[in-house]
Structure 1
Amino acid sequence: MLFITLAATVASWHSAQRDLQRETRTYFDFRVRQLLENMQERLAAYQQMLYGTRGLFDASDTVSRGEFRDYVAALRLERHYPGIQGVGFSLLIPAADKAKHLATIHKQGFADYNLHPDGEREIYTSIIYLEPFEGSNLRAFGYDMFTEPVRNRAMAYARDYNGIGMSGKVTLVQESDRDVQAGFLLYLPVYKTGLPHDSEQQRRENLLGWVYSPFRINDFIAGVGGERSGDLALAIYDGDGIGEQSLMYGQPVSEPESQWLNTIQRLDIGGHGWTLVVRAGSDFQSRLPHDKPRLVAGIGLLMSLLLTVLTWQLVNGRGRALLLARQMTEELRDSESRFRLMADSAPVLIWVSGTDKLCFWFNKVWLDFTGRTLDQEFGNGWAEGVHPDDLQHCLDIYIGHFDNRQPFSMEYRLKRHDGEYRWLLDNGIPRFDHEGHFAGYIGSCIDITERKFMQSALEARNADLTRFAEVSAHHLMEPTRRFASYTQRLKKRLSAYPDAAGDEEVLIDLSTLEGDALLLRSLILDIQRYLSAAEPRGEVRLLDSRAIMAEISRKMAAKLQALGATLTVEELPPVMLDRPRLADLFSLILDNTLRHGVPAESRNPLHIILGGQREGHVSRFFISDNGPGIPAKYQTRVFEIFERLGPRTADSGTGIGLAIARRIVESRHGRIGFKHLPRGGTCVVFELPDGEQRDT
């Protein structure tokens, strides 16, 4: 009996040991799959974000620096895309356009901008947008990524295949001397709007540039994270091999202690791959029960309780297996729940389809937008909301790209819950499971209705302004000039007959007409200056405002002396502007002060003070006088076109000068207004930030 019970105990101990190893391996394989799925989901989110960014360029002929900054800020990278270093745009520059490109960026206020590395080549690329545009990201401004072989391969792949391209292991230009990490980049090509890019040759000829994102590998893995990140020890190698030079993340692989708790996986993204070596981490064993073999051995020594304890052990072992299975199922559900939570929190409409082309899931933003349920949208139900004029075109693009497993981007109108059709930009990409099998498509949509309306309104407004300027110049200026000329000739002829009756009265009338003609000419010239005030008339750079003011003071010296006025120029800060408009700005405000600063009854001479200071990246100026001042209720009106406080006189001006000054300041995102002076008088204040020129 003792031999039998001992043999049964040994057999039970071996069985329990095998069960523990099997459960351990099952849990290890599950955690590895979970890690890979988390990495794939995170990379898919980054890719979707790049497709959305490309949609910004596809929806517009041009994207300004400010529009790009606002779009990236709306993505809220730190919250929705942890681990990302930024989002940028690299422009393709033919060698023939290099000088023009440099002049354009310099004109935007970046006088020190240049392409790097140096050297002559047939084509250049340059990182012109990168948000957030601060800190270490500033070092990437102007960098030609196409000159570096690893980045070049990824950019060329993305360009030729019209999809995501992932680079190999690189050191980002943002890196400093401390905490240097390996890096990688994701690229997506942007083609010129309206030009074909169906073939490889067309894609190369009509390429505009790339939207891209750089990543530091440690930050990327931290963004993948997870509640049980200590379970696994991960090493990532660039490419197919395992070597010290290709190690991107983790500790180098040496002889493993437990071969059965190691695995090598392959992760392929955008024409490039990683080799992942995954081992059990420091916290892995602590999450599994290890007492089963010891319990079996101990219980085997208790002969009297053998059957009872053995039965309990089997039931208990099965219970733990069921518990582990339930935990694994719950974690799988949690993974799906996290994806849906992230999708429902994204500021875009998201849909997912299977291999049968039918959509089976829409995020909350989509359902709130359409006002329909998931059951109503299921399958092809979503197509019921597409505008009839857009439906066939929409389906042709979707089905054609689906059959070829290609990403697509399309615009169509979708009915909102209130019955209004809204324009959407829809970007879709194919999905693949962890084994590389095609799983369907995922897509995201953004509402571009306001953008389309704004573009139409802006084009109409610009066209109206252009026509107005042309009509003003052609139909008003020339007749006004002839009218003044004829009046002068009539005065000259009549002056030859001084004895003629009524000649003196006629001469007075002609002088009045001549003055009105000259005033009308000044008015037309000021209108033209107003229309062009928002556009630079020279290079926008950091100017010495004191030197420009000294030149203006010399020109106004005679007028100041004639009025008995004095001008004091205090310290003036440098300012980011073109020289002609800065001179106009000072001259217009000073001229207005001289016209209206001294009433006829005043015994005090007019004294004007001009000064300013620099605060950070903003230049602030003030022009004050000891004149009668402007009542508070009129201080906003005087900056409107054709507004003046007093009656029109021969020297009252056209009423446009301060409106021109305001247009110059606001074109640079600045502000202009009045400051209250306790002792009376007028104080005009304005500020000009160093930012880029506002689009007009």
Structure 2
Amino acid sequence: MKRLWQRCLPAPRLLPWVVLIAGFLITSLAVVNQQRYTRIERERLQRVLADDISAALRARLATNQAILAAVVGLFGASEDVTEAEFARFYRSFTVNNANLAGIQGVGYTARIPPGEVEVFEQRIQRQGQPDFRIQPPGRRRLMSAIVYLEPADWRNERAMGFDMASEPTRRRAMEQAAFSGDAVLSGPLRLRQETDDYPQVGALLYAPIYAGDQEFRSPDERWQRLRGWAYITMRMGDLVASVLDTVTNPDRSDAAVLLFDGDRPLPQKLLFESHGLVSRSDDPVSAETPAPVSNDRLQATTWVPLRLANHSWLLGVRFEQSGPDLGGAGRDLLLSALLGVCLSALAALLTARLVANHLALRHGLEREAQAARERALAAAVFETTPVGIVVTDPNGMILRVNQAFTGISGYSQLEARGHKANLLRSGRHDNAFYEDMWTSIVQRGHWSGEIWNRHRNGTIRRHELNITAVLDGQEQIVYFVGLLWDVSERYAQERRMRHLATHDPLTGLANRTLLMEELQRALALARRRREGVAVLFVDLNGFKAVNDRHGHSIGDALLKGVAQRLQRQVRASDLVCRQGGDEFVLMISEAPDDGCLRDLAIKLINCLEPPYPDLPGDVRISASVGVARWPDHAEDADGLLNAADNAMYAAKQRSGEPPAIAVAQPSNHPAVAVRGTGIQVDADPSPERLDGPPLDESGP
């Protein structure tokens, strides 16, 4: 039996042939599998390249959406954005031109309410676009017009005034954006900016702009508050070409890239094609019987669907014949197979052990490196964010603050750590305020609102505070994280804007808007207290002559001097207003009787007549004063102003006489004129002499 077994074993000299035959078998199997491997590897590389290109497209569309969000923010911050402001805004983000490659323009199209086309055109023409017209003309259910479009080149000038809602593809995207509130990408179309020289397929990216900042309760409310759309015009050829330039995949130059609108490769929906594999229809959006591109022309193409800005694209990648070498079977294949057979058993065992150890070590190092990067990123964000951050333990003891907190509070990390979070307490809030705050934090896990805090230097600042409770696995509070913004300057700016809106820029006096507000308030208070409210209408005599002779600078200085003298003659509770030009109005609360008001009017006239030291010596001024008192001469604010105005004109009406004071009288009383120290009764207070009720005139 033993000898038989030994005879069945191959002789040692035959072992090389056995190895050779085994090598041939392995080689033949490798050749058979080479085509399958090549196809699989080709598809893998195409998939990797397609993923790289799709990521680059997503990044570019995200950049474009960020630009649109900035435009929406611009219109949200201002009720009326001018053409110059929009141009400056556009120039502010055109420093990096790479982000704008493929963008033909960034613009704003306004929604036009029904029946207001002519009014809208006239308003835009008055704002500096005299040739502005809405195109195409006519009435439509939804109308819009391109108002701003940057850069202001000859291509974009062709689109000004165009009603994008007049074209179905654009209108669908505009309505979808308006009802959803999100950025929406349109289908393929021909841009208004295109000419017959090298035309490209275009696409538009829309973002809605709404009036007000309240939350929306329904899509219909979005539509009702819609002001217009911010949009970006994209030439797809330039856009995709610039995106491909950013792809660093080494196989990029050997691949044909196709991009279709939708989820099927239809010639009518072709957006971009790099190697002439597909002929695009002359009308890419209106073909009646669309058919997919022939499979023979796009054989072995890898397709990747994209969902960008609520719209679908289909990306195709196909390697050309000159693509990457995927064969992997050279002339040394047989020798490699023979050597591999001899060494495979031992090498496989050793290599398997080494590779297993190596992979385990590498994965551990990668996980640690990733954790370190995440910790470094979190620390960098914590220290560089402009929002003040403070972290406390459950007892409110400060554990850590960032640099922004130091800038806001004045306390450094060393100074704040170990102190209670009430370190910044200003004393302006009572205990009930803080009790409500902590109740909200404990019960709901967060609190947000505005709070007055004391800076380290003692100043009181207004802050916006957001406190969040951090819980552990057992739902127990382990930290409190507070986010702090200083909003003092924002409120100060609002106060300055309010002052500009309610005061005369030359004299600093109240303007008519503030006068009407204060007069309405004074009348309401007087009705409750049964008191009088008076209005003195002061008009400067001879101001035009001073202005014409000495110039506007002297005239302005004179108006300032008059304003200062008038303010010195009244109480702090009274209001002096510049009505416009050389007219001033004084509102006297708790007004006395007509006699005292006459004395005040004489006092006002006398204070204005002396020379003004800072002006030329021949600059002299006098005044005429009309006086009206509620409830004697009018029933409301407008009537009181009209009565005082009429009284002032009655005082000026006597040409050649000294300036007069006229006190309004009830309509059933004769007018009484007072000049100097004498009193005269005008027996003919006819309406022809004065448009208004009879008046009592008096003067110094």
TM-score (norm 2): 0.50
Please list, as runs of the form range in 1=range in 2, the aligned pairs for 1:286-325 lying within 5 A after superposition.
286=325, 290-292=327-329, 294-297=331-334, 299-300=336-337, 307=342
> Structure 1 CA distance, aligned partners of 2:200 and 2:490?
40
Equivalent position to 2:80, from 62, 84, 92: 62
Equivalent position to 2:198, from 164, 179, 186: 179
Instruction: Decide whether the 8 Å contact of 1:188 with 1:212 is kept in 2.
Output: yes
SS at match of 1:143: coil
Note if 1:148 corresponds to 2:189: no
Deviation, 1:119, is: 1.9
SS at match of 1:457: helix
Instruction: Decide whether the 8 Å contact of 2:254 with 2:319 is kept in 1.
Output: yes
Equivalent position to 1:367, from 385, 391, 400: 385
| Structure 2 residue aligned with 1:480 | 540
> Structure 2 CA distance, aligned partners of 1:207 and 1:524?
52
Please list, as runs of the form range in 1=range in 2, the aligned pairs for 1:188-587 lying within 5 A after superposition.
188-194=207-213, 197-224=216-243, 225-228=246-249, 229-250=252-273, 251-252=277-278, 253-256=293-296, 259=299, 261-281=300-320, 284-286=323-325, 290-292=327-329, 294-297=331-334, 299-300=336-337, 307=342, 367=385, 370=388, 454=493, 456-465=495-504, 468=510, 470=512, 478-481=538-541
| Structure 2 residue aligned with 1:108 | 127
Between the aligned residues of both structures, percent identity stands at: 24
Note if 1:170 corresponds to 2:189: yes
| Structure 1 residue aligned with 2:64 | 46
Deviation, 1:155, is: 0.2
SS at match of 1:85: strand
Instruction: Decide whether the 8 Å contact of 2:462 with 2:487 is kept in 1.
Output: no
> Structure 2 CA distance, aligned partners of 1:313 and 1:58?
67
Q: Deviations over 1:177-222 (max 9, x none)?
A: 2221101111111111256632121111111001111111122213
> Structure 2 CA distance, aligned partners of 1:646 and 1:3?
119
Deviation, 1:478, is: 4.1
Please list, as runs of the form range in 1=range in 2, the aligned pairs for 1:678-689 lying within 5 A after superposition.
none
| Structure 2 residue aligned with 1:158 | 177
Equivalent position to 1:126, from 145, 148, 161: 145
> Structure 2 CA distance, aligned partners of 1:281 and 1:162?
43
Kindly tell me: are residues 194 and 38 of structure 1, through their superposed partners in 2, closer, same or farther at Cα, counting changes over 3 Å? Answer: closer
> Structure 2 CA distance, aligned partners of 1:295 and 1:377?
66
SS at match of 1:185: strand
> Structure 1 CA distance, aligned partners of 2:169 and 2:503?
50
> Structure 2 CA distance, aligned partners of 1:526 and 1:119?
49
Deviation, 1:52, is: 2.6
Instruction: Decide whether the 8 Å contact of 1:16 with 1:296 is kept in 2.
Output: no
Letter in 1 for 2:332: L
Please list, as runs of the form range in 1=range in 2, the aligned pairs for 1:13-32 lying within 5 A after superposition.
13-15=31-33, 18-32=36-50
Instruction: Decide whether the 8 Å contact of 1:53 with 1:211 is kept in 2.
Output: yes
> Structure 1 CA distance, aligned partners of 2:254 and 2:310?
30
Kindly tell me: are residues 293 and 129 of structure 1, through their superposed partners in 2, closer, same or farther at Cα, counting changes over 3 Å? Answer: same
> Structure 2 CA distance, aligned partners of 1:220 and 1:372?
44
> Structure 1 CA distance, aligned partners of 2:216 and 2:232?
23
> Structure 2 CA distance, aligned partners of 1:139 and 1:311?
76
> Structure 2 CA distance, aligned partners of 1:412 and 1:214?
41
Kindly tell me: are residues 197 and 464 of structure 1, through their superposed partners in 2, closer, same or farther at Cα, counting changes over 3 Å? Answer: same
Kindly tell me: are residues 520 and 299 of structure 1, through their superposed partners in 2, closer, same or farther at Cα, counting changes over 3 Å? Answer: closer
Kindly tell me: are residues 414 and 468 of structure 1, through their superposed partners in 2, closer, same or farther at Cα, counting changes over 3 Å? Answer: closer
| Structure 2 residue aligned with 1:91 | 110
Q: Deviations over 1:116-145 (max 9, x none)?
A: 112233442111112222242222211110
More helix by share: 1
> Structure 2 CA distance, aligned partners of 1:129 and 1:312?
71
Kindly tell me: are residues 304 and 88 of structure 1, through their superposed partners in 2, closer, same or farther at Cα, counting changes over 3 Å? Answer: closer
Instruction: Decide whether the 8 Å contact of 1:197 with 1:206 is kept in 2.
Output: no
Structure possessing the higher relative contact order (Cα contacts under 8 Å, 6 or more residues apart): 1
Deviation, 1:254, is: 4.2
Letter in 1 for 2:217: D
From the CA coordinates, give the structure whose radius of gyration is larger: 2
> Structure 2 CA distance, aligned partners of 1:646 and 1:14?
107
Larger deviation, residues 227-236 vs 175-184 = 227-236
Kindly tell me: are residues 87 and 644 of structure 1, through their superposed partners in 2, closer, same or farther at Cα, counting changes over 3 Å? Answer: farther
> Structure 2 CA distance, aligned partners of 1:220 and 1:50?
16
Kindly tell me: are residues 204 and 518 of structure 1, through their superposed partners in 2, closer, same or farther at Cα, counting changes over 3 Å? Answer: closer
- Between Structure 1 and Structure 2, how many residues are aligned? 444
Deviation, 1:64, is: 2.2
Q: Deviations over 1:566-624 (max 9, x none)?
A: xxxxxxxxxxxxxxxxxxxxxxxxxxxxxxxxxxxxxxxxxxxxxxxxxxxxxxxxxxx
Deviation, 1:26, is: 2.9
> Structure 1 CA distance, aligned partners of 2:339 and 2:226?
83
Deviation, 1:100, is: 1.8
Kindly tell me: are residues 107 and 294 of structure 1, through their superposed partners in 2, closer, same or farther at Cα, counting changes over 3 Å? Answer: same
| Structure 1 residue aligned with 2:27 | 9
Letter in 2 for 1:188: A
Kindly tell me: are residues 45 and 304 of structure 1, through their superposed partners in 2, closer, same or farther at Cα, counting changes over 3 Å? Answer: closer
Deviation, 1:95, is: 3.2
| Structure 2 residue aligned with 1:82 | 100
Letter in 1 for 2:224: E
Letter in 2 for 1:269: L
> Structure 2 CA distance, aligned partners of 1:103 and 1:234?
48
Deviation, 1:66, is: 2.5
| Structure 1 residue aligned with 2:691 | none
> Structure 2 CA distance, aligned partners of 1:376 and 1:284?
57
> Structure 2 CA distance, aligned partners of 1:74 and 1:452?
26
Deviation, 1:37, is: 2.0
Instruction: Decide whether the 8 Å contact of 1:480 with 1:520 is kept in 2.
Output: no
Q: Deviations over 1:533-559 (max 9, x none)?
A: xxxxxxxxxxxxxxxxxxxxxxxxxxx
TM-score (norm 1): 0.51
| Structure 2 residue aligned with 1:573 | none
Instruction: Decide whether the 8 Å contact of 1:477 with 1:524 is kept in 2.
Output: no
Kindly tell me: are residues 367 and 271 of structure 1, through their superposed partners in 2, closer, same or farther at Cα, counting changes over 3 Å? Answer: closer
> Structure 1 CA distance, aligned partners of 2:351 and 2:157?
61
SS at match of 1:81: helix
Instruction: Decide whether the 8 Å contact of 1:94 with 1:122 is kept in 2.
Output: no
Deviation, 1:272, is: 2.5
Kindly tell me: are residues 262 and 644 of structure 1, through their superposed partners in 2, closer, same or farther at Cα, counting changes over 3 Å? Answer: farther
> Structure 2 CA distance, aligned partners of 1:112 and 1:293?
72
> Structure 1 CA distance, aligned partners of 2:71 and 2:449?
15
Deviation, 1:8, is: 2.7
Deviation, 1:296, is: 2.0
Q: Deviations over 1:5-26 (max 9, x none)?
A: 4223212444565555444433
Q: Deviations over 1:219-265 (max 9, x none)?
A: 22133231233253221122233222111110425445795x42222
> Structure 1 CA distance, aligned partners of 2:210 and 2:43?
48
Letter in 1 for 2:203: F
Kindly tell me: are residues 198 and 177 of structure 1, through their superposed partners in 2, closer, same or farther at Cα, counting changes over 3 Å? Answer: same
SS at match of 2:73: helix
